[in-house]
Chains A and B, each alone.
Chain A
Amino acid sequence: EIVLTQSPGTLSLSPGERATLSCRASQSVSSSILAWFQQKPGQAPRLLIYGASYRVSGIPDRFSGSGSGTDFTLTISRLEPEDLAVYYCQHYGSSWTFGQGTKVEIK
């Protein structure tokens, strides 16, 4: 079973700063089945990125995904106050696995 480890656990940044979130897989995974979700407080998760780097329609272009093999990254180029959320990576193979999440706090 693939294990996804996200770091850091919490990221505290000011508006306008760049946020870099990491997701490391316990073994090499196909980038075509790696996704990122955003979960704001009190809300259901929302799909941001699929296939490691493809942004869902309607998601602001400040969100981008990259990576391959065992190392994947979600970047928020310029943080906005509304980006306060927990972000999860996911491997969606024959079964689904989620990382434990990175909480993004806005200073």
Chain B
Amino acid sequence: EVQLVESGGGLVKPGGSLRLSCGAFGLAFSNVWVSWVRQAPGKGLEWVGRIKSKTEGGTTDYAAPVRGRFTISRDDSKNTLHLQMNSLNTEDAAVYYCTSGGGTADYWGQGTLVTVSS
């Protein structure tokens, strides 16, 4: 059974930084593309970005609102995905989901809540 488990969420002040992690179990992690999707309280789903598998270049793509502030990385030796978030603002407050799959988000974690407030 595939499981994705996010961690690292919490309260951060505007302008601050936070690093989220996602542990993957039950899948060939190094072979898959993994993405982050977020959901602000009471709102819809918003794609944050993705990282391809190393065999496909390991490159990253980001949504416009986070480009230049967020960085996605992966540690295939530990089956772990990271999201480094800098210069956070109140619009970044959301539940952050880790997802993976063959093309779209076949699998989702339960999410980790990021709150941005002074």
Contact = CB atoms under 8 A, between A and B. Distances in A.
Interface string B16-54: 000000000000000000010100000011110010000
Interface majority SS (helix, strand, loop, mixed), chain A? strand
B97 interface: yes
Range for the number of chain B residues in contact with chain A: 10 to 19
B105 interface: yes
26 contacts: A35-B105, A37-B45, A37-B105, A44-B109, A45-B45, A45-B97, A46-B108, A47-B104, A47-B106, A86-B44, A90-B104, A90-B105, A92-B103, A92-B104, A94-B61, A95-B47, A95-B61, A96-B35, A96-B37, A96-B47, A96-B50, A96-B104, A97-B47, A98-B45, A98-B47, A100-B44
Interface in A87-107: 88, 90, 92, 94-101
A104 to B, nearest CB: 15
Contacts of B117: none
Contacts of A47: 101, 104-106
A86, A96, A98: residue with the most chain B Cβ atoms closer than 10 Å? A96
Interface of A: 33, 35, 37, 39, 44-47, 50, 56, 86, 88, 90, 92, 94-101
Interface string B101-115: 101111011110000
B110 A44 contact: yes
Contacts of A45: 37, 45, 97, 105, 108
A51 B110 CA distance: 24
Contacts of A99: 44
